[in-house]
Each structure stands twice: as structure tokens, then as C-alpha cells.
């Protein structure tokens, strides 16, 4: 099995650090393959390292400007860092290359809705400022009717779960299969409901963990829609949405010194009462990687790759100048593949 295939396997299993090291290996062997950079960008995105993902997508697009997946991922990353116009530009290019892709269409609509809502808020603020500055003269001016797009907030929704499924309940009377469109992908759900007078209600949910989209089931009631989704990895989710975070503790933020200055360790949201064993450890490493600086990430990648997955260091000063030797568990012996 080649490095890319191994990386794909690790990615599907949710082991993004291991996948990242394999894609690094594939890129070092073939640095002109656009798809490899797009795959590595997906790992960065899964680890919330959006700046790194944008950099990899840029490299992928430079090698192949028709790489729709790289364009889409770059657009999604720009959305997450708040650069909506750049997000729209890249998502439009991805959609133009593949208009049949539901994820491309959903994300483009999502960004366009955010931009419209932002423009309405800016316009309202400008109108208030103009009224204050112009005084009574504004009341005498006939500005004529102003037509603005009708943007509606999404309906309320909730969820419940079992070990194998999570169900999203959307509370919206009048929703039917004829006026509702539901798109699901591995980690996203989009619900669009069109009612009378051109009103459209949208819900976009970035899921806490992966689902099996083709196994989703939808049922309509008089007042709600239920979307039952199969979890890709059975177990309990800490929340429905990926953006959900543990509430901060009261009092001052605890910061401790490190080689790179003060670090807020409360940002490493360790849910010790939810996950156990290897799952909790992988989640902890994932959070360290997503909150670490460039040297921390380089150290983790290098130590993991060179040690055969037995050492994971965050100290670039320690591992950057020498090869990292593997360390076998007590009672076992390190051997290279193929050794007797």
C-alpha cells in the first residue's frame, strides 16, 4: 500500500495526524501532484488549521487550476477565517467546474446568504447614521421605495442521539417534501424550506463528527421534520455541532509559560468525562495540533513519521536537528518492516 492509500485509510478512520504524515510523504515523493496537496489540506481542515489548509489549496490550484475540490476547500477555509468575499470567489469557481456537486452548491448558497445579511446590517447602520446627521431635512426628502432581499432566520432545531444514530429535529410547520430540500454530506447538513411570499428558511449545521449520508432517513410531521443520520463511528457525541465548545470556567484565564511565550491551556478542551482510552488520547493530540504554532506541528509530524508512530514530540528544538528513533513498549523490540 502506497503513502497516499495509507493516508486515505487513516483519514477515513479519523486519525488525521497519521494521515497528514502519509500525505507529507507522498508530496515529498511527488511534489507536482495537485491532488496530494488537496488531500493534505483536508487534514488541516479537520484539525482546524485553516491557514495551513489555504496554503496547501493554493499550491494545488497553482498546479491544476481545474482542481474543483481544492477550490472548494479553499473557499470553505476562507469562510471559517471570516473572509467571505474570497470564500465566495473560490466557491463560485468550484461550482462552475462541477455544478452537480451538492456540497459546492450548498456552501455557495451559505456564503451568499451571509454576505446578503451582512450587507443588510451595514445598510441599516448607514441609514441610521444618515438620519442622525441630516436632521429634519431627511424627513422631507422623497427617497422612494427601497427593495431589499427578504432574509429569514432559520427555524429552531434540536437533536437527540443513540449509540449509532443522531436525529435532527427541525421545528417548522408547513414543511413538506415538495417545499423542502435537504442535503447531507459527511460532516454537514443543509435544510432549505421555501414557504409563501418567497420566504426561504435555511439551516446549515457543521456536525460534531462524521455520518453516513446515504443512510440518512427523513420524516415529515405536522410541525416538524426529523432527519435521522447514521454515525460513521458509533459512540456518544458531545454536541450536535462542531462549533459547540465547553463553557469557560469563571475567573481569570489560566496561562502558563512555554518556550514560545504564554499559552492558554484552557483552550485545549479536554472532555475527560466523555472519551476514554485511545479515543481520548487522539482527541487530545488533535487539539494540541490545531492550537499549536508552525514549529509545534512540524515537530509532531517529523517525530511521528520518523519514529514509526511511537514518538510524538511538540519540541522542534529537540527533534528538528536529528532523526527521531522509535521507542518500543516495554517488553517489545523495534524492528523495521521486513526484518526477521
- Residue 197 binned pLDDT confidence (cut-offs 50, 70, 90): low
- What pLDDT is stored for residue 276 in this prediction? 59
Output the nine-digit C-alpha cell for 317.
Answer: 528544538
Is residue 24 within 8 Å of residue 44, measured between CB atoms? Answer: no
In angstroms, rounded to a whole number, what is the distance separating the alpha carbons of residues 43 and 21?
10
Residue 101: half-sphere exposure toward Cβ, Cα within 13 Å: 16
Q: How many helices (H) and strands (E) does the chain have?
A: 11, 9
**Which range among 17-31, 203-217, 289-303, 325-339 shows the weakest confidence by mean pLDDT?**
325-339
pTM beyond 0.75: the answer is: no
Backbone angles phi, psi at 134, to 5 degrees: -90, -15
Cα separations (Å) of 244 from 77, 124, 289?
18, 30, 19
211-255 confidence digits (pLDDT tens): 988 889 999 887 888 899 999 888 888 888 876 544 333 333 434
* DSSP-H helix ranges across 135-242: 137-140
In angstroms, rounded to a whole number, what is the distance separating the alpha carbons of residues 165 and 212?
10
Q: 118: burial class by Cβ within 10 Å (0-12, 13-18, 19+)?
A: exposed
Mean pLDDT (the chain, rounded): 76
Average pLDDT over residues 34-61: 91
- What pLDDT is stored for residue 281 in this prediction? 64
- What pLDDT is stored for residue 150 in this prediction? 42
Whose CA is closest to 54, among 75, 32, 69, 68?
75
**Which range among 35-39, 150-154, 294-298, 313-317 shows the weakest confidence by mean pLDDT?**
150-154
In angstroms, rounded to a whole number, what is the distance separating the alpha carbons of residues 303 and 320?
9
Can you name the residues that pair with 203 across neighbouring β-strands? Answer: 191
The more confidently predicted of residues 61 and 250 is 61
- What pLDDT is stored for residue 60 in this prediction? 95
Contacts of 317 (CB under 8 A, 6+ apart): 259
In angstroms, rounded to a whole number, what is the distance separating the alpha carbons of residues 47 and 40?
11
259-314 confidence digits (pLDDT tens): 444 444 444 444 444 555 566 666 667 777 766 677 777 787 777 777 777 777 88
In angstroms, rounded to a whole number, what is the distance separating the alpha carbons of residues 283 and 281?
5
- Residue 337 binned pLDDT confidence (cut-offs 50, 70, 90): low
Average pLDDT over residues 314-318: 80
Is residue 303 within 8 Å of residue 324, measured between CB atoms? Answer: yes
Count of Cβ atoms closer than 10 Å to residue 98 Cβ: 15
Can you name the residues that pair with 189 across neighbouring β-strands? Answer: 184, 205
- What pLDDT is stored for residue 110 in this prediction? 84
- What pLDDT is stored for residue 263 in this prediction? 46
Share of the chain above pLDDT 70, in %: 69
Output the nine-digit C-alpha cell for 152.
Answer: 429569514
Q: How many residues does the chain have?
A: 340
The more confidently predicted of residues 83 and 154 is 83
Task: Identify the sign of the CA torsion 258, 259, 262, 268.
Answer: negative
- What pLDDT is stored for residue 331 in this prediction? 63
The pLDDT of residue 93 is above 90: yes
Amino acid at each position: 500500500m502506497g503513502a497516499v492509500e495509507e493516508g486515505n485509510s487513516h483519514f477515513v478512520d479519523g486519525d488525521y495526524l497519521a494521515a497528514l504524515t502519509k500525505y507529507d510523504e507522498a508530496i515529498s515523493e511527488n511534489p507536482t501532484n495537485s491532488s496530494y496537496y488537496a488531500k493534505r489540506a483536508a487534514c488541516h481542515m479537520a484539525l482546524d488549521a485553516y491557514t495551513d489548509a489555504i496554503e496547501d489549496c493554493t499550491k494545488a490550484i497553482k498546479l491544476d487550476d481545474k482542481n474543483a475540490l481544492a477550490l472548494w476547500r479553499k473557499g470553505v477555509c476562507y469562510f471559517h477565517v471570516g473572509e467571505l468575499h474570497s470564500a465566495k470567489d473560490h466557491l463560485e469557481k468550484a461550482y462552475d467546474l462541477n455544478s452537480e456537486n451538492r456540497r459546492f452548491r450548498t456552501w455557495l448558497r451559505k456564503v451568499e446568504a451571509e454576505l446578503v445579511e451582512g450587507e443588510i446590517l451595514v445598510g441599516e447602520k448607514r441609514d441610521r447614521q444618515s438620519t442622525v446627521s441630516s436632521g429634519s431635512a431627511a424627513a422631507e426628502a422623497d427617497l422612494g421605495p427601497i427593495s431589499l432581499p427578504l432574509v429569514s432566520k432559520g427555524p429552531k432545531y434540536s437533536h437527540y442521539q443513540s449509540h449509532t444514530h443522531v436525529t435532527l429535529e427541525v421545528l417548522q410547520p408547513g414543511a413538506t417534501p415538495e417545499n423542502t430540500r435537504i442535503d447531507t454530506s459527511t460532516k454537514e447538513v443543509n435544510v432549505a424550506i421555501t414557504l409563501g411570499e418567497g420566504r426561504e428558511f435555511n439551516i446549515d449545521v457543521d456536525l460534531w463528527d462524521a455520518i453516513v449520508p446515504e443512510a440518512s432517513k427523513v420524516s415529515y410531521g405536522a410541525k416538524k421534520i426529523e432527519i435521522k443520520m447514521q454515525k460513521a463511528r458509533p459512540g456518544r457525541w458531545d454536541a450536535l455541532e462542531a462549533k459547540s465548545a465547553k463553557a469557560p470556567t469563571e475567573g481569570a484565564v489560566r496561562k502558563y509559560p512555554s518556550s514560545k511565550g504564554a499559552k492558554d491551556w484552557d483552550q485545549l478542551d479536554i472532555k475527560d468525562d466523555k472519551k476514554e482510552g485511545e479515543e481520548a488520547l487522539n482527541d487530545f493530540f488533535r487539539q494540541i495540533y490545531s492550537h499549536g504554532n508552525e514549529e509545534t506541528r512540524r515537530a509532531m509530524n517529523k517525530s511521528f513519521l520518523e519514529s514509526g508512530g511511537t514518538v510524538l514530540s511538540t519540541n522542534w528544538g529537540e527533534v528538528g536537528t536529528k532523526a527521531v528513533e522509535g521507542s518500543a513498549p516495554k517488553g517489545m523490540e523495534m524492528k523495521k518492516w521486513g526484518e526477521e
